[in-house]
Structures are given as structure tokens and as C-alpha cells.
Structure 1
């Protein structure tokens, strides 16, 4: 076996990759411990299908999860050897169930929801791509997602109804997953399977990505055993990614606090100057008002004296 290379989309927010398919393959490889050189690629244009991931082993080039699993199994790398026939059939059925019920919701969250797409998805993928592909690929992926949603739910005229239907089906799917996992560490006992890699790849981006419209993400986070499942795999298999993200977050928070601290003397000075200015203005106003009142009183007294003197002259 030559040195295996895996080309993937870059990571973000403590994820090893922002892409569902890349995360499937990468997680599976972590589970089986196969030596692999991972490369974050900024241009999928020259890949065999114009997509990522791409696994290379000598002249062997594979582009999807199922192909990778089968190929590595032929090299005696597999996480599914402990599954009996019934469990293998169950894993296959669950995988299709996720594809039918959770995948449309996943695509909707990432690509169809305009707020999520504009604030998170597009800038994240644009950041990972080179010019001019940062203009091309996000729009291409969004178009494909919209076509899929339209094909599945085209009978609904209102997009809000589509969203409601998609999320309802996804939430039922998540409930089924939660019930199946129970208190176990993995879905089929104490050892991970390829199905665990698939589930993690679906759930981790929903848990970690800071979507502004986070209905489905919040639902996943609210399911305790699924949240623990994501956290457990992240810590065991992507600890370096998680730790680096936490370090960067801490550094950024400290930097923000330092900026606030640096701004504090200026803010305090500005407040003090504003208070002094206000006091001077009020004093000036009071003095001016008093002087004006004195002038008015003086004028009134002058008028009164003149009037009094005129009365005396009349007498």
C-alpha cells in the first residue's frame, strides 16, 4: 500500500472539515487508524468529478464514502468486522433512512435557507476557495440543493411550509437515532462502525456551525445523548482540531477583552470630559440666564423709576 492521501474541504468552528462527505471519510479513517496524509484543498475543479473528498492510494483514486470503505476493507482496514448480519442490515437501512429524512434538512439548513447561506455558508466556502472559484462553487452547490428540495417538495408553494415539513421529518429521524443509541457509546456497542462515522458527519456540523437560523441545530443540541455522541467522537478522534479551535477562541476572547481594557481609559476620559463640558455648559447657561434675568430686572426697575418720576412731574 502506497501512502494514502485524502483531499478535503478545510475545517472551521472545531470541525475537521466543513463538508459532510469529507467528514464521513475522515472520521472513518480515524476510526480504523489507517495512515493517511490529509490535505485541505482550495480548488476542487481539477478533481475527477469536480467534488471533494478525493482519496488517492497510488493509482487508485476514489471519490465517495462507500468506495473508500470497500477499498480499505480490501486492505484489511474495517470498523464493521464486529457487526453481525442483522446489525449490518440495520446499519444499511438506517443509512438510507438518514439519506431520505435528514439529508434534505441538512441541505436546506446549509444552502436553501437564505439567511444561513448569506451569513455563513457562502462566506465560509468562498474563504476556502481561490478566485474565481469562490464565486462559482457556492452558487453551484446552492442551485443543486434548491433543485433537490424542489424535486422532493415541489407540491408546496410556500417555502415556509417546505421548511416545516423538512424539519418535522428530520426531527422524527433524530428521535429514532436517539432511541437507537440510548446510553451506548456507539450505535452498535462499544466499538465504532462506519454508521457511526456517517451519523457524526451529519450531526457535528449542525452542532458546531453558528447558523443564524438554528432551528434544527438547536434541536440536535437539545438531544442529550446525540450531543454527547458528537462531543465524544470529537474529543477522541479530533482532539487536536478541537483544542486548536478552543485556543483560538480563548485568544480571541482575551484580545477582545484587551481591546476593551485599552479602550477603558479613553472611555473614562471621554465620560469625564463630557461631564465637565456638561457642567460648564450648565454653569454657563445658569450664569447667562441669571445675567439675562438681572438685565430684565434692571430694565424693569428702570422702567418703574421712569414711570415713578413721570408721576412726580405730573404732580
Structure 2
């Protein structure tokens, strides 16, 4: 391969064993990795790159593509086709399952990252603020949150409460994961011993739910109920993403664990006690004082 034949893929960084925290970037990187595309990976983690590119961004010679749906058809024409050996029936099933995954899991993923208030305040906004250069991190966060809001608004009536939306998204997630688990069974991959584009799609949506330590995890924790899907994620990572760091890059261990839904620390109890005392004393002084101190 000459210098003019080099492939480049610009992606947003990952964490917690994920190659990226952006689903389309995960799909693009994993597909090219499995297909053995000779690729240069460039992280969008500085002002210069983030100003000119938005992940995923694929470059080959004088051509460039800015979405997974554009990248895959192009590299397929160059012989990097993961579905080449599938028969028509398998291709049809793969397309149906891929569409199901994207239809049923995109909403839950957008919700847990950007619309769950606790996750957004304590994790998502903090992580992306540290992973992306300022001030572009602000634009990215605002744009991603707006995209998530638009998606959820397109799925539900405007008068639906967030609790109803969360419960419905949980049901969608469980339904999708159950179908995937039943289809995978004891197979290594969905069509046998080698991954296809379906495996790429499934990993890209399931792995973030499984691996990202969201403080509010009522939806993301559902994945662990299907052990064969957990094993599937680990299998993909061990074989095709072995060099992705497993440790946290941008948040300290204490920041990740102190806000878990399943943990109640003595510090938290102490803070609650102090708050209660403050409430009593403050009420005796004035309601205005209480409001300013509590909020």
C-alpha cells in the first residue's frame, strides 16, 4: 500500500474498554477492524481536528465519508465486505435484526446518556467536557442533547412524563435484548464463527449499555440479565479490540463510584444529617433563608 492508498478514520475517544463513546464511531472502527482495513486511527481530541472534522470521518485518497452508512458501502466495493459469504436469506435476516436494534436501542441509549438528568449532570457532561477541547465540548454537548431530545419527542407525546418514557424505553430495551439473546443462543456470532455487519451493530449498541458506569442505571443494567450477550461483547473485544484500554481515562475512580444507585456512603448519610439540621434551624429563621441554602 502506497502513501496515497492510506485509509484514515477520525473518531471521538472512548473509555471503559469502549473504542469510542459515540455509537457511529464504534460501528465504523469495529467494522474496519474486523474487515482488516489498513487504517490510521486519529482521535478528535484537539481544537484543530475537532474544528475541521466530526466523527466518524473516513478518508481514502481524495474521497471522504462522514457516516457509518456511507463508509461501509464504499469499503465493501474495495473488497472489505463482512457479509460477502452470507446467502440471501441470511442477509435479509441480518438487515431485519440490524434495523430492530437501531430502532429499539437508539432511544434508550440517547436517553441514558443525555436525557436522564442524573446521568447528564453527574457523568455525561463531565466526561465530554474533559474528553473534548473547550469550547468545542460545549457545542458538542448541546448538539448531542438537542438531538436526543428531538428523537424522544418524535417517539412520545409531548405530555408524556419522563417516568413513563423511561419505563417504556426500559421495556423496549428488554424486548430487544431478549430477541437478540434468543437468536444468538450458544453461537459465537450471529451467523456462526465469523462476525458480520450484524455483530458490529449489536456490539455498538449493547456494549455502551453494559460498560459505561452510569449513576442512574435502571436501563443500562438490563444487559447483565442475558449472559450470552455479555459474553458476546467480551468475545468481540478480546479478538478485535484487544488494545483498547480498560481503565478510565478522564474520571477518577472515586468520581465514577461515589454516585452509584446501589451505593449509600457514610459521607452521604452525614450530608443528609447536616441538611436536616440546617432545615430545622433555617426554618426558625426564615423561609427565604432555607430556599437559598438548600438550592
Task: Give the TM-score taking structure 2 as reference length.
Answer: 0.79
Q: Any unmatched runs of 5+ in structure 1?
A: 254-315
Q: Write the mapping of 1:148-167 to structure 2, written as runs, cut at 5 A.
A: 148-167=151-170
Distance 1:100 1:238 in 2: 26
| Alignment pair present for 1:46 and 2:52 | yes
Superposed CA offset, 1:117-149 (max 9, x none): 112211111112111112221022111101210
Structure 2 residue aligned with 1:123: 126
Distance 1:23 1:170 in 2: 19
**Contact 2:15–2:248 (Cα < 8 Å) also in 1:** no
**Contact 2:16–2:248 (Cα < 8 Å) also in 1:** no
Question: Alignment partner for residue 65 of structure 2, among 48, 62, 67?
Answer: 62
**Contact 2:10–2:44 (Cα < 8 Å) also in 1:** yes
| Structure holding more helix per residue | 1
Greater length-normalized contact order (CA 8 Å, ≥ 6 residues apart): 2
Question: Alignment partner for residue 149 of structure 2, among 143, 146, 150?
Answer: 146
Superposed CA offset, 1:164-193 (max 9, x none): 111101210110011111110001111100
Q: Which runs of 4+ in 1 moved over 4 A?
A: none
Distance 1:145 1:247 in 2: 25
| Alignment pair present for 1:5 and 2:8 | yes
When the two structures are aligned, how many residues end up with a matched partner?
A: 246
Q: Please give the secondary structure, in 2, of the residue aligned with 1:72.
A: helix
Q: Please give the secondary structure, in 2, of the residue aligned with 1:5.
A: strand
Task: Give the TM-score taking structure 1 as reference length.
Answer: 0.74
Distance 2:222 2:112 in 1: 13
Q: Write the mapping of 1:199-210 to structure 2, written as runs, cut at 5 A.
A: 199-210=202-213
Q: Any unmatched runs of 5+ in structure 2?
A: 255-295
Superposed CA offset, 1:229-284 (max 9, x none): 0001111111121xx42598xxx89xxxxxxxxxxxxxxxxxxxxxxxxxxxxxxx
Distance 1:155 1:169 in 2: 19
Distance 2:215 2:119 in 1: 6
**Contact 1:30–1:237 (Cα < 8 Å) also in 2:** yes
Structure 1 residue aligned with 2:79: 76
Q: What's the C-alpha RMSD, in Å, of the aligned pairs?
A: 1.9
Larger of the two Rg values belongs to structure: 1
Distance 1:172 1:219 in 2: 10
Q: Write the mapping of 1:1-315 to structure 2, written as runs, cut at 5 A.
A: 2-42=5-45, 44-47=50-53, 51-241=54-244, 244-245=245-246
